[in-house]
A and B are shown apart, each in its own frame.
Chain A
Amino acid sequence: MRIPGKGLIDETQVSFRFDGHAYEGRAGDTLASALLANDVRLMARSFKYHRPRGPLTAGSEEPNALVTVGEGARRDPNVRATVQEVYDGLVARSQNAFPSTSFDVMAVNDLLSPFLSAGFYYKTFMWPRAFWEKLYEPVIRRAAGLGALSGEPDPDQYEKAFAFCDLLVIGAGPTGLMAALTAARGGADVILCDEDNRMGGRLLAENEEIGGMPGHVWAEEVLDELRDMENVRLMTRTTVTGAYDQGTYGALERVRHHRPRGPLPKSCFWRIVAKRAVLAAGALERPVAFRNNDRPGVMTAGATRAYLNRWGVAAGKSVVVFGNTDDTHRTARDLIAAGVHVPVVVDNRHDAEPQGDYRVIAGGHVVNSSGRRGVEAVEVAHANGRRESFACESLAMSGGWNPSVHLACHMNGRPVWNDAIQAFVPKPGMIPGMTAAGAANGTFSTHGCLEDGQQAALDALSDLGRKAEADTLPPAGDAPYRIRPLWAVPGRGRAWLDFQNDVTVKDVKLAAQENFRSVEHMKRYTTQGMATDQGKNSNVAALAVLADATGRAIEETGTTTFRPPYTPVPIAAMGAGGGGIGFAPQRFTTSDAAARQSGAPMIEAGLWYRPSYFPKPGETTWRQSCDREVRMVRDAVGICDVSTLGKIDIQGPDAGAFLDFVYTNMFSTLKVGRTRYGLMLREDGHVMDDGTTARLGAHHYLMTTTTAAAGNVMKHLDFVSQALRPDLDVRFTSVTEQWAQFAVAGPKSRELLQGLLDAFTPEDWPFMACGDISVMGVKGRLFRISFSGEHAYEIAVPSRYGDSLYRELIARAETLGGGAYGMEALNVMRIEKGFITHAEIHGRTTAFDIGMERMVSDKKDCIGKTMSERPGLMDPMREQLVGLKPVGAVKQLTAGAHLYNAGEEPVRENDQGYITSNCYSPTLDTVLALGFLKNGRARHGEKIRMVDSLRGLDALCEVCDPVFLDPKGEKMRG
């Protein structure tokens, strides 16, 4: 019910829909305040018992009023109606109810509640195991669930961003505003974050004066000053969700949750780096546990005042107030002044006196509520035990306030118990650089908050090396906080502690009785403190009940662990921009466009995209294209972009010595103008990478790495040079991207180059030669190297010419009966030649295993040498690289299949090795494979059984040399 003339929001009307009905609200309303204004207070059903629920609070800690906002793929489940702002066209609906909130068939759970107590799932759904997936899980999911995701990809845009400041102020109530103002006036860079859409905190919800003016007016004046300062950034709708190491804070900004769809991102996840921080997050009010305290219309007194004073909405025409601090009287005064009937104020303190024209029951309790779909009456027990009933439409209750210590505890700190305020407060220094101030630190008076905020800012300024003086504080209320502990009203029936998870006082007692006495165990056993509100309303009361049940003090019982995030953060915001192709950078070669134009399907190789094969008209399978491309290279000439291989330019007087140290073989002896294959080990003696390195000058080398290991090799070289051998004068840099490099392979490669290069004498380019060339007027490099086993070259030009040269090479190759070949053909040809890739050097193989132990020079030390000589790594019974050919009508040899001796059971104990690479060789018209076999080099000619359990294959093969084709390399060298 809206009270004319009350509230701080303007009169602009907005239309929205809730559960299919159209309503009017006002700009500045939350969904909860707008619905209450329309006398709708039933907004949700509870998680477990499907009890009807209305809003308990007016903030982000709301446990009950969870709704789904939006429709289709854009819907957002579990949105708190107390946070969601209404706007024209907003569509929201209740959740966890079928068919509707007011009539919910699952409410039968409530009748079954005697059987659904704490630990019910653990006790009931124990066995049989098969029932879990088929029965229990689906049933529980349907019966006890919050809102559901759409199951479709999220079409909305999200953002993430970085921000930096001297001082981060978390919360813009009196404390935060004063802290921000003091720091900003002192010249610090300030970010002030508040999760609300309007700054001011409790000043917007209370009748409080600061400096002789209403608190919200004072707040607006401070904000006006802050808005005009260049060193201040105000971030509304931004919840600081986590405190992390070295002054990093996570914060979620709701950018477009309060307006219709448009180009704005929906939310933004900020990483804020702050030299200092002030936690001014305020405090959260505690409900009191009594029988049926979850009935719609029962809410915290602070929420009652917030709806009244900020939104001009009364929770009912008559409101009973119940509590244990002066807030009960503050609530009664505000309600009466607004014309709301207050039948009685139940102040649990025995010395309570009325502070206005209303009746007070001192030392009493509210013991029960009744009503059909919401509160219609409450039953009160006097101090002497006498019972009295009061008709009312709402109950405002307060069990005192809990400082919002959460962020202060995110680095595993535990708050300390403060007996005077019956609450936990942060311990100083739990987050380096952060100070808690105001209500978050247990200071509850307005004056105290201003003073605290100012002092925290002055301390921060001083830490930052800035001088600042304390301005005179405006006068404000400074009444003491007097509280009588009140957690749970004694008596029968279910009294709710955790509204969101339907955990009652009885559940916590049962947990203690069944020996789940540790607070962490109690939490897991009862589910208290889980889900979206993370026990913000219930943790302290629940552990007070646990403390009582276990005969311990509250401080002795301790708290559970506070972890980020403070409020839920959508994964979509944390991973903003990372969906689909945004997941990782895409790297495209200079021939990418040409390859795609010719229809080549691209495959990912690390971040790179490379052509798989180049289909010709009439070819319907990749194998047809691949076979043709292999024959084309073997018979004529093929072109392949090999630019993705890592290229590292190495220079300096000690370049040769450096290479000798990182490679197993010698490079200082390599002649200028020559290229050599090199093998690189890790320090543990296993192979890291391989590739060719060319000597371009006396002190100038060019190393190539495999595509996959380029980054790792660079990191390794940096490590060796900086950390192990800083004595060597050598410099290197990646030139992978500088050069576009293409393999020109096949018997006609020489002929192709003769027409292309400006002056080319083939006799000057023996196998493994390298040097400068000129191609159509452009300076490039040529390498006489081969990964196909054919007479081949690799030609490199600066990348700007890559596209142009590639197209020229293809055109010339085609006139010679050749063309482009892709990764599939490249792989087939290297298997035919027994050349290894990372399928073979997969991290567990040694030089010995791949038959290259002679490449480990005994003339020098190198990385990995000592450890590679361990007897275990030279054991002949290790698995060694072999070739495998099928015996008989075998259709397939498969990578990943294991090898067994013929006649032995294919079980792990008998394992003889495994296959790493396989292909169909069009050259030899047979399937081939490379693999590792125990003592394999001595077993050429032996028959071995291949078993692929995954694909159900079982075949016999013959062990042979891994080089299937041209074992002497005559074609390559010729």
Chain B
Amino acid sequence: MRITCPICGERDIREFTYQGAAVALDRPDPEAGDEAWDHYVHLRENPAGRTRDLWYHSGGCSAWVVVTRDTVTHEVFDTELAEEAKA
């Protein structure tokens, strides 16, 4: 599998570390309540199809990258820097 780092360009998957759903970008307000926090920390979709997740370019430039891809076909639709992405 290959992922295009928005900074470095297309790279082999071995340079990246997988983290999880891009939900992690959406940190709730401390007072948002149990449900919001439960959702943020624990609840994850398990889609067969399109998904947005976070990858760390650990073996490269250290950028956090949001990857939009398909879990069935493995097609990568889009990658963007986490700092620029809106969850």
User: Which residues on the B side are within 8 Å of A247 (C-beta)?
Assistant: 2
Closest partner residue, chain A, to B81 (CB atom): A722
Q: Does B78 contact A (CB under 8 A)?
A: no
Measured as residues with beta carbon below 8 angstroms from the partner, the interface class of chain A is 20 to 34
B62 touches A718 (CB 8 A): yes
User: Which residues on the B side are within 8 Å of A719 (C-beta)?
Assistant: 19, 24, 54, 56, 64, 82
Centre residue among B40, B56, B73 by max chain A CB count within 10 A: B56
Q: Known contacts A244-B1, A722-B63; is A684 also within 8 Å of B41 by CB?
A: yes
In the complex, per-residue mask of A242-260: 1 if CB is within 8 Å of any chain B CB, else 0: 0011111000000000000
In Å, the complex CA distance between A690 and B42 comes to: 24
User: Which residues on the A side are within 8 Å of B62 (C-beta)?
Assistant: 718
Give chain B interface residues in 15-33, CB to chain A under 8 Å. Answer: 17, 19, 24-25, 27-28, 30
Give chain A interface residues in 226-279, CB to chain B under 8 Å. Answer: 244-248, 271, 273
User: Which residues on the B side are within 8 Å of A715 (C-beta)?
Assistant: 17, 56, 58
Give chain A interface residues in 865-890, CB to chain B under 8 Å. Answer: 865-867
B41 touches A867 (CB 8 A): yes
Contact of B24 (CB < 8 Å), options: A245, A723, A726, A866: A723
Give chain A interface residues in 757-816, CB to chain B under 8 Å. Answer: none
Q: Does A961 contact B (CB under 8 A)?
A: no
In Å, the complex CA distance between A184 and B17 comes to: 37
In the complex, per-residue mask of A59-76: 1 if CB is within 8 Å of any chain B CB, else 0: 000000000000000000
Q: Does A683 contact B (CB under 8 A)?
A: yes
Give chain A interface residues in 708-734, CB to chain B under 8 Å. Answer: 711, 715, 718-719, 722-724, 726
User: Which residues on the B side are within 8 Å of A411 (C-beta)?
Assistant: 73-74
Q: Does A186 contact B (CB under 8 A)?
A: no
In Å, the complex CA distance between A867 and B33 comes to: 10
B25 touches A723 (CB 8 A): yes
Q: Does A104 contact B (CB under 8 A)?
A: no
B1 touches A248 (CB 8 A): yes
User: Which residues on the A side are within 8 Å of B56 (C-beta)?
Assistant: 715, 718-719
A866 touches B30 (CB 8 A): yes
B82 touches A723 (CB 8 A): yes
Closest CB-CB distance, A154 to chain B, in whole Å?
A: 24
Contact of A271 (CB < 8 Å), options: B12, B27, B63, B83: B12
In Å, the complex CA distance between A246 and B30 comes to: 41
Q: Known contacts A245-B74, A861-B30; is A866 also within 8 Å of B1 by CB?
A: no
Q: Does A432 contact B (CB under 8 A)?
A: yes
Closest CB-CB distance, B71 to chain A, in whole Å?
A: 12
In Å, the complex CA distance between A247 and B63 comes to: 24
Closest CB-CB distance, B32 to chain A, in whole Å?
A: 8
A246 touches B1 (CB 8 A): yes
User: Which residues on the A side are within 8 Å of B41 (C-beta)?
Assistant: 683-684, 867
B25 touches A248 (CB 8 A): no
Closest partner residue, chain B, to A870 (CB atom): B34
User: Which residues on the A side are within 8 Å of B2 (C-beta)?
Assistant: 245-248, 273
A723 touches B74 (CB 8 A): no
User: Which residues on the B side are within 8 Å of A866 (C-beta)?
Assistant: 28, 30, 37
User: Which residues on the A side are within 8 Å of B10 (C-beta)?
Assistant: 246
In the complex, per-residue mask of A136-163: 1 if CB is within 8 Å of any chain B CB, else 0: 0000000000000000000000000010
Closest CB-CB distance, B83 to chain A, in whole Å?
A: 4
Closest partner residue, chain B, to A682 (CB atom): B41
A724 touches B12 (CB 8 A): no
In the complex, per-residue mask of A667-690: 1 if CB is within 8 Å of any chain B CB, else 0: 000000000000000011000000
Closest partner residue, chain A, to B75 (CB atom): A432
Q: Known contacts A246-B1, A722-B64, A722-B81; is A865 also within 8 Å of B74 by CB?
A: no
A867 touches B37 (CB 8 A): yes
Closest CB-CB distance, A856 to chain B, in whole Å?
A: 12
Contact of A724 (CB < 8 Å), options: B25, B30, B73, B81: B25
Which 10 A-B pairs rank lowest in CB-CB distance, beginning with the nearest?
Answer: A246-B2, A723-B82, A245-B1, A726-B83, A245-B74, A722-B83, A722-B64, A861-B30, A866-B30, A722-B82
Given A683-B27, A715-B58, A723-B85, 16 more pairs with CB closer than 8 A: A162-B12, A246-B1, A246-B74, A247-B2, A248-B2, A271-B12, A273-B12, A411-B74, A432-B75, A718-B62, A719-B54, A723-B54, A724-B25, A726-B83, A866-B37, A867-B41
